């Protein structure tokens, strides 16, 4: 790799707006503001340059699970998503026995320390049996703050988020505990009322886990958690924009009420993402993926997604008609801020890691750079 690379001629999406015929200069692994004469330039006229995607809720991909796979399996999943533009990913776990989850946290915290993943997310076991989705009901438990603390400690500083049904006994105290330790308390897989949700937000919850899914529907007399989560400026709402989890009108409603600064696109991906249809295991539960839609074999509940964030970006910018700047906020900047890594990733500003995605005029992925290294070469359109 040359010390300096100049990516020239593209529509460059910056926090301040879109720069036409823009240039992004890479020196080693960082974005810089200048390059010496004669530095090699890649002509990207007609393309888009956007920051690498940041996925704060992802269970695996490439046939590999973050919950149960080996370290090599986890890296396979991470690299699969990198090839689709996700240069920063949090490893999410589904519900399991407490001893198993603490063991996984210790193992994967090493990958976080090495910079391969951006931290850990525990989606369960502290969730409602009424809204369990693709979680094993026999393993669910109330959010005892002592057990929540046990998971945090097992993560060795790498626990980034815990999803809870905050209406359960111990829920509010657990939210306060997470907030005190700088861990995101996310409201999800919940049967909470509007009032219970508002109380959890006041206690320190800041994220809605895959809004609309695994929670009561919006009602005109009993608005439930959705209304409370959309209306409160302290909450960022996760959205799975795969065409299965959300109707376009629901996505539009979320953007209208929360605004692009309070939306985070996620995949909630499972093993089949970037891999294909077939039978898989999600924790202890068997999943069948057919036509790229994942459902539990027993019961038929949606079981995560097979989404990659390049597809979420393209769908948002074309089918949903969102402004490109808003999509970049939701898919890069907002999750980076929530994870506390916006000083390094989430925008194409000088001094930040050279995490860059190249898209063509139709928002098809053409190139991916991570820390100055091409993962997908835009001049060849293939993985390096």
- Residue spans of alpha helices (H) in 83-138: 98-113
**Dihedral angle of Cα 89, 91, 92, 95, to the nearest 10 degrees:** 170
Residues 6+ apart with CB under 8 A from 364: 310, 314
Give me the active site residues, please.
Answer: 268
> Nearest to residue 268, comparing CAs of 236, 245, 247, 284?
245
Q: In Å, what is the CA distance from 96 to each residue of 103, 173, 181, 305, 348?
A: 11, 22, 23, 19, 38
DSSP for 46-84 reads T-EEEEPEEEEEE-EETTEETTT--HHHHHHHHHHHHTT
Where on the phi/psi map is residue 365: left (φ > 0), alpha (ψ -120 to 50), or beta? beta
31-37 contacts, C-beta under 8 A, 24 or more apart: 31/348, 31/349, 31/350, 31/351, 31/352, 31/353, 31/354, 31/356, 32/4, 32/350, 32/351, 33/350, 35/4, 35/5, 35/6, 36/4
Which residue is listed with tokens 């974005």? 31
Determine contact, residues 25/231, Cβ cutoff 8 Å.
no
Bridge-based pairing state of the strands 17-27 and 278-282: unpaired
**Any bridge partners for residue 236, and if so which?**
207
């Amino acid at each position: 790799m040359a010390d300096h690379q100049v990516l020239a001629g593209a529509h460059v999406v910056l926090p301040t707006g879109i720069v036409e015929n823009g240039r992004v200069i890479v020196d080693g692994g960082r974005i810089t503001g200048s390059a010496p004469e004669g530095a090699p330039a890649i002509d990207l006229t007609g393309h888009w340059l956007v920051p690498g995607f940041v996925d704060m809720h992802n269970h695996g991909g490439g046939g590999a699970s973050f919950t149960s796979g080996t370290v090599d399996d986890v890296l396979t999943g991470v690299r699969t998503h990198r090839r689709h533009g996700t240069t920063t990913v949090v490893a999410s776990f589904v519900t399991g026995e407490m001893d198993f989850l603490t063991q996984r946290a210790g193992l994967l915290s090493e990958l976080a320390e090495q910079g391969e993943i951006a931290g850990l997310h525990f989606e369960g076991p502290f969730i409602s049996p009424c809204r369990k989705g693709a979680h094993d009901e026999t393993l669910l438990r109330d959010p005892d703050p002592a057990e929540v603390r046990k998971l945090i400690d097992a993560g060795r500083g790498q626990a980034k988020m815990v999803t809870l049904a905050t209406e359960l006994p111990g829920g509010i105290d657990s939210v306060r505990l997470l907030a005190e330790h700088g861990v995101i308390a996310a409201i999800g897989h919940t049967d909470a009322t509007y009032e219970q949700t508002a109380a959890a937000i006041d206690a320190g919850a800041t994220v809605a886990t895959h809004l609309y899914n695994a929670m009561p529907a919006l009602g005109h007399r009993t608005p439930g958690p959705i209304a409370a989560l959309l209306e409160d400026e302290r909450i960022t709402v996760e959205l799975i924009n795969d065409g299965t989890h959300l109707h376009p009108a629901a996505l539009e409603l979320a953007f209208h009420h929360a605004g692009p600064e309070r939306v985070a696109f996620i995949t909630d991906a499972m093993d089949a993402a970037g891999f294909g249809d077939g039978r898989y295991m999600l924790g202890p539960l068997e999943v069948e993926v057919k036509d790229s839609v994942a459902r539990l074999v027993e019961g038929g509940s949606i079981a995560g997604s097979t989404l990659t964030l390049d597809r979420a970006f393209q769908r948002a910018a074309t089918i949903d008609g969102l402004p490109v700047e808003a999509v970049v906020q939701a898919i890069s900047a907002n999750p980076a801020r929530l994870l506390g890594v916006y000083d390094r990733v989430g925008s194409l500003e000088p001094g930040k890691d050279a995490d860059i995605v190249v898209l063509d005029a139709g928002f098809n992925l053409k190139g991916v750079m991570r820390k100055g290294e091409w993962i997908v070469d835009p001049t060849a359109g293939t993985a390096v």
